Amino acid sequence: MKETLIFDLSREGRRGTRLGSPDVPVTPAGQIIPERYLRSKPADLPELPESEVVRHFVRLSNLNYHVDKNMYPLGSCTMKYNPKINDYTSGLDGFTAIHPLQPQKTAQGSLKLMYELSEMLCEIAGMAAVTLQPAAGAHGELTGILLIKKYHEPLGEKRDKLLVVDSAHGTNPASAAIANYEIVSVNSNAEGRTDIEDLKVKLTPDVAALMLTNPNTLGLFEKEILTIEKLVHENGSLLYMDGANMNALMGITRPGDMGFDIVHYNLHKTFSAPHGGGGPGSGPVGVCEKLVPFLPVPVIEKTEENGRTCYTMNMNKPESIGRMMNFYGNFGVLVRAYTYIRMLGADGARRVSENAIVNANYLLSRLLKKFDLPYPKPVMHEFCLSGDRQKKQHNVRTLDIAKRLLDYGFHAPTIYFPLIVSEALMVEPTETETRETLDAFADALLKIADEAENNPELVLNAPVKTPVKRLDEALASRKLNVCCPGC
């Protein structure tokens, strides 16, 4: 279905509503607003009856791809089905009607929720304390890096370098650069894991920390993590974990037990909040005991007053890095994550990770018939295939494969990342997809591989069934045009 532009549906004189005569004195706009701000002619707005406006946007919404429509196989994004109970609890009047500036004694339920969520996140990752302030994963990274900087300041050492493994998310070096660190890349080895020998060479006295994703973006667990931890700490550096892939670890192992000093969580990934469209996100940060004094303020504390338990926000933390966000983070996402964890319980959290791992390995086993796997299996929650075979033999790129998937009703996986994989297809099925859905997705990719071999022009010209065919993405990103007709 191809939807007509709303301006093309417009007919002069049609309107959705009529306002009655005002019952208050009317002052012309020109007497209130300076003339230079007034329009010289009426705004060019579409004119339609209410019924056509509603139908137009409903039709557009049906064209939208969303997680309630089908799976998102985006590697490292962990875009899974979100239980509707989370939306219900976050929409309760006690949470939506609250104001961050009202007295703390009138917000005890919300403060208790945040305190208990922090405690649960501490237990899940094996950390001493957690701040809920950061608004997204990258914001959590920046918070963690500022904690690293704060930790080293009183030690009187010049540590201006951060190590980042070459398979890391791009936000790792970006966050480090914002904090004015020099980024040094650590190589991956032939297994796709951290190259220990390269790490030893680059772990110099001016290194503040190593940023590591575990499992990494290839879906591989760092088997030498205890060796890495020992090398980093013997150097006087800190060990930071990008927790974007926590969906593979819950209830199985904990970053704190591996020796990580700092870890950020993506509540909008692992702990099931709506994901995509720019947010909202939430990236809490957990720290080991020696970093607790530096956490952002305010810190939510549990106290006893006159025999009653109460919760307060403590601003009196002289060693704190300060605020990272107004008030206390994206509260609606915190409510969703709290609901999700309480509904799962400890056993359920472990089953989430176990099922995510099983789904990933099952899907991988089916796709190996037609696609290359640059690094050895088994994997954890995600895997990274290569479309090199299709490119070299049939001149069909990974981008073409991704576009053709749209014709089969599936969103494309992450492509061309991580950068260490040529023609990368990075897939994360998550735990919420059934075997039937996984089989349908695998069948689609396998058919596309056959098409690339037998009818490559079909794949090269995809998509062919969508309302909008293949766009010039490079041109669109450089010459963005969001104007209405006639502008």
Task: Give pLDDT, residue 145.
Answer: 98
Please check whether residue 255 is in contact with residue 125, taking contact to mean a CB–CB distance below 8 angstroms. yes
63, 119, 183 from 214: Cα distances, Å? 36, 22, 19
Determine the pLDDT at residue 472.
82
Which pLDDT score is estimated for 487? 46
Measured between alpha carbons, how far is 211 from 242 in angstroms, rounded to an integer? 7
Please say whether the structural domain 347-476 has been given the CATH code 3.90.1150.10: yes
| pLDDT tens digits, 291-309 | 999 999 999 999 998 889 9
Q: Cis before residue 215, ω within 30 degrees of 0?
A: yes
Q: 221-228, long-range: CB within 8 Å, 24+ apart, which pairs?
A: 221/248, 221/380, 222/193, 222/194, 223/193, 224/193, 224/194, 224/196, 225/258, 225/259, 226/258, 226/259, 227/196, 228/194, 228/196, 228/199
**Residues 224-274: tens digit of each pLDDT:** 999 999 999 999 999 999 999 999 999 999 999 999 999 999 999 999 887
Place of tokens 């208990």: 116
Pairing of strands 285-287, 262-265: antiparallel
What's the pLDDT tens digit per position in 384-395? 999 999 999 999
User: What's the mean pLDDT when you consider all of the chain?
Assistant: 94
DSSP H stretches of helix in 84-161: 84-90, 93-96, 108-125, 137-152
Q: Is-contact 381 353, C-beta < 8 A?
A: yes
Fold of the domain built from segment(s) 84-344: Aspartate Aminotransferase; domain 2 (3.40.640)
What is the pLDDT, as a whole number, of residue 19?
A: 85
Residue 212 has a pLDDT of: 97
Please name which of 372, 362, 444 lies closest in space to residue 403, comparing C-alpha atoms: 444
Distant-in-sequence, close-in-space partners of 178: CB < 8 Å, separation ≥ 6: 142, 145
pLDDT in tens, 162-176: 999 999 999 999 999
CATH fold match for the domains 84-344 and 347-476: no
Residue-wise pLDDT tens digits, 361-391: 999 999 999 999 999 889 999 999 999 999 9
Q: Which amino acid is at 202?
A: K
Q: Where are the domains of the chain?
A: 6-63, 84-344, 347-476
